[in-house]
Every structure is written in structure tokens, then in C-alpha cells.
Chains A and B, each alone.
Chain A
Amino acid sequence: MTNTAISVKGLKKSFKDKEVLKEVDFEVQRGEIFALLGSNGAGKTTAVNILSTLMKPDSGEVSICGFDVQRQPEDVRQSISLTGQFAALDGMQTGRENLMMIAKLRGVSNPVQVTDNLLVRFNLTDAANRRADKYSGGMKRRLDIAMSLIGTPAVIFLDEPTTGLDPEARIEVWDTINELSEGGTTILLTTQYLEEAEQLADRIAILHGGRIITTGTLTDLKEMFPPTKVEYIEKQPTLEEIFLALIGKGGEVNEK
């Protein structure tokens, strides 16, 4: 067993004549949090869809935990979980039912217990028997991530996990992701927010113009960015701290 969880070499994908991924290469080690940073339309979702066997690449080698996405999709699906860009749940079912459904489909041996544990862990016990379409954005996202954890996949893909969430909910999701990573799960997340990558990622790759233009740790990247930009990044959490202080959650932020 190698230490590489995700390996992408020379990945290409076009839609009709539109080249979205021109030549994408990166590797993610087991247990890492890896952020794929890119602006709107950079191809983040396309890359995640290919990695999670939803889409076929035009060319290139993509493997997850040593399994090739094209030749061994079944094995790949055993090893992964996808949390898509929008919370993928059945709004007409309760939180508990959503979790139970996934637990049964994944064939876990004790679905009721798994569901109960996740409800507690994601602070959804009180809302467990309410319909998911009545949840707030943050609760939906939490349920969505909880659904992805069932069956303890080795690799989790999170496509823009905090887009559209308020700062409070965003921090909840960040906490969850950090917790997951401590448990040894490999996480690939996409984001448009520099601060999110900064907060979470062990390593960051910037996807631009169909290629990974840089990869590295935050320190590596900071050296490459012009100082003015770095200052701008550093202001963001301050604003957030003000917002959170005003709504009475300031204490939690300072702990981070």
C-alpha cells in the first residue's frame, strides 16, 4: 500500500470544443487535506466529478487509493464519498431517514446506531425527525457531510463545502473537516475562498486556465503572492470576527 491517496496525471476534459481541463497533475497523500482553489468556471467541479467516477476523462491517468477510475470504478466507489456543490439530500425525508437510507445502501451492519451517532456528532439530534427541506443552509450541509461519512470511506471529496453558508455555519463545517482529517480521512476540497484554503488545507493547488499553476503549502504560496494580496486575505477573518462577536460567538473563533 502506497501513501498516495489520489493521483492525477495529464488529466484532460473538454465539453464540445471547450477545453476545461487542459493538463492537470497533482497528488494527494493519505490523511491530507488538499484544497483545489479556483475561480468560477475554473473546472473544479469537473475535476471532482471525474475523480468520483461521475464523468469520464478524455485522457490522463486518475487513480484513487491505487484504483483506476476508468478501469476499476467499483473499487473507487468503495473508497470514496462525494459531497457535491449543493447539499444532496431528500428534502421530503427527515434527517434521520436520509442517514438511514445511505446506511442501508452502503450495507453497514448497524444502520440505526450509525445514524444515531452521526446525528449526535453533527448536532442534529433535535432536528432528526424534521423534514430536511425545513433545515437551515448550515444544517443541510452538516447532514449532507454526515451522509458522506457513512461507511467510513478513505477519501472524501467536498465540492465548495461552505459556499452560500454564513460565517457561523462555515466555521462549523471547517471544524467538521478538521475533525475528519484527524481521524485519518483523506480530504480533497474545492473552494473559491483563499481564506478557506488557508484555514484548512495542508496543501493547496491553484487551478487556472485548465492547469494547476502552483501547488504547495500555505507558506510556499504566501511567498509567491504579492504582499498586497496577502494583506487582503488577512483582513477577512477580522471582519468575520466582528460579525461573530456581534452575534455572540466570538469566543469560539479566538480558540482557532
Chain B
Amino acid sequence: MKSNTGVLLGRLMRNILRSPDTIITVAITPIMLMLLFVYVFGGAIETGTDNYVNYLLPGILLITIASGVAYTSLRLFTDVKSGLMARFNTMPIKRSSVLWAHVLTSFVSNALTVVVVILVALVMGFRSNADILDWLTVVGILGLFTLALTWLAVIPGLTAGSMEGATAYSYPLIFLPFISSAFVPTETMPKIVRAFAENQPVTSIVDSVRALLYEGTVGNGIWIALAWCVGIMVIAYLIASKAFKRQLG
């Protein structure tokens, strides 16, 4: 069973490497945003730190992942539409291995783009005094966030009627960091916006990652951040599994 997932993972990863445009578009948008915010808006944004790249990076990483998972939906959608999914489902292999191959592909490809974005941030002046344990915790949170959004992405990938439908959900996801503490402190926002910003998942995740990278603590918000990630993941997983079963009508 494991080796079947491996075969399918190999195929999907090869497809990603064969379409460099997907790698570039996924990495380029967050990099452009980072350049824009640091060199154009940055001077005018008051964050209480002298290194705006440092402030910005956690939010940028979440945007990277949110736009990366749209391709997970797209790849699944393509498999369903092309009939490959039906072919796999009538073969003597474990059906879940097909889904897991997509989930793992999403995980690996997002990890690659996140590394690229971090490298660009380093060139732009990103510095952190975090130790190994802090970094591992950051990797853990971002990994959970990726898994949560990936399972969310599986749902439209399986059920959408069109390519646009399969990826449309990712726009609000990419937009969510803008109404959070990712780019500016929430204190300056009008009351209602602030209430939303402070109680949505991105803010707690961004704040936790920031605390780990620059303050050497896990921060108080980490439990809220973890709860959001695990909560989204479990609910999305259950809905996705149900959609997968229903598809097999």
C-alpha cells in the first residue's frame, strides 16, 4: 500500500517539476508581495520594529501556502475529470492511497516554495535568532497549516464542476492575511475590522511564528494557533472523505 502511494506521489511530483510555471507562479506572487510591501509601502508602515522583512515574513509564508494549495485542487480536479481517478478506483489498490498521494504532493511542493521564499527573504534582510527547537516548532505549525489547507483544497478538487470552481475558494484564503496582523499591527484597525482580524486563524498563527522567530518564546497564542490548524484539518478531512465516498456513489 505504501509503495502505491509512492508511485502516485512520484508521478505527481514529476508533473510539478515538468511545469515550472506552477512552481514560479506559486513562489513569485508572495515574493512580489514581499518586495512591494518592504520597498514601496514599508517605509510608511509603523510596526514598532526596524526590520519590516522580519515583521512581514510569517504572513507571507501563509500566503505562499494558501496560494500553493490551489494547485492541489487543480491536480485532483484534473485526475477526476480525465478519468484517471476512476481508473485508479477500479484497480486492486487501496483507494485512499490516491488521495494521500495528492496530500503528500501538496505538502512537499509547499515546503519547497516556502524554502524558496525564505531564501529570498534572507537576501532582503530577514534575520532570526531562533534556535533549532524554535525552528522545529515553526516547521510544525506551518506543516499543520499546510495539511489543514490541503484537506480543505481536496474538497473542491473532488467536487468542483469546472477548473475555476476548483480554485475559486483559494482567493479568500489568500486574502485572509491582509485582514490580520500579517502586514500591520491590528491596533490601528477600526473596531469591527480589528475584532475580525484578532479572532481569525491567520493572526494567531502569524503571532506565534513571530514569537518563535524573534522573541525566542512560543508565545501565548500558540494554543489558539494549533487549535485552528487542527480544527480546520479535522473538519476538512471529514468532509473530504465524505465527498470521496459520495463520488463513488
Contacts and interface: CB of A to CB of B under 8 A. Distances in A.
Interface of A: 49, 52-56, 74, 77-78, 80-82, 84-93, 97, 101-102, 104-106, 147
A88 B82 CA distance: 5
B15 A105 contact: no
B7 interface: yes
Contacts of A97: 11, 14
Contacts of B87: 82, 84, 88, 102, 147
Contacts of B15: 90, 92-93
Contact of A84 (B4, B86, B248): B86
Interface stretch (B53-61, B88-96, B109-117, B120-128): B88-96
Contact size class for B? 20 to 34
A74 to B, nearest CB: 6
5 contacts: A52-B90, A80-B90, A88-B87, A89-B84, A97-B14
Contact of B88 (A49, A55, A78, A105): A105
B248 A54 contact: yes
A105 B4 contact: yes
Interface string B1-37: 0011001100100110011000000000000000000
A82 B85 CA distance: 11
A104 B7 contact: yes
A60 B5 CA distance: 34
B43 interface: no
A84 B83 contact: yes
B91 A106 contact: yes
Nearest to B19: A92
Interface in B57-104: 82-84, 86-93
Contacts of A84: 83, 86-87
A208 B85 CA distance: 29
B243 to A, nearest CB: 15
B82 A81 contact: no
Interface of B: 3-4, 7-8, 11, 14-15, 18-19, 82-84, 86-93, 248-249
B249 A87 contact: no
A147 B84 CA distance: 11
Q: Nearest 6 pairs between A and B by C-beta?
A: A88-B83, A82-B90, A77-B92, A84-B83, A88-B87, A92-B15
Contact of A54 (B3, B8, B89): B89
A55 B89 CA distance: 10
A93 B14 contact: yes
A75 B29 CA distance: 48
A198 B167 CA distance: 45
A93 B84 contact: no
Nearest to A88: B83
B11 A77 contact: no
Contact of A77 (B3, B18, B91): B91
A90 B81 CA distance: 11
Contacts of A55: 248-249
A182 B194 CA distance: 73
A101 B7 contact: yes
B249 A105 contact: no
Contacts of B86: 49, 54, 82, 84, 88
A101 B92 contact: no
B20 to A, nearest CB: 12
A90 B87 CA distance: 11
A86 B7 contact: no
Nearest to B4: A105
Contacts of B93: 105
A53 B90 contact: yes
Contact of A89 (B4, B8, B82, B249): B82
Nearest to B10: A101
A86 B78 CA distance: 13
A81 B248 CA distance: 16
Contacts of A82: 86-87, 90
A98 to B, nearest CB: 9
A106 B89 contact: no
Contacts of B14: 92-93, 97
Contacts of A147: 87
A90 B82 contact: yes
Given A54-B248, A92-B15, A104-B7, A86 B88 contact: no
A171 B248 CA distance: 33
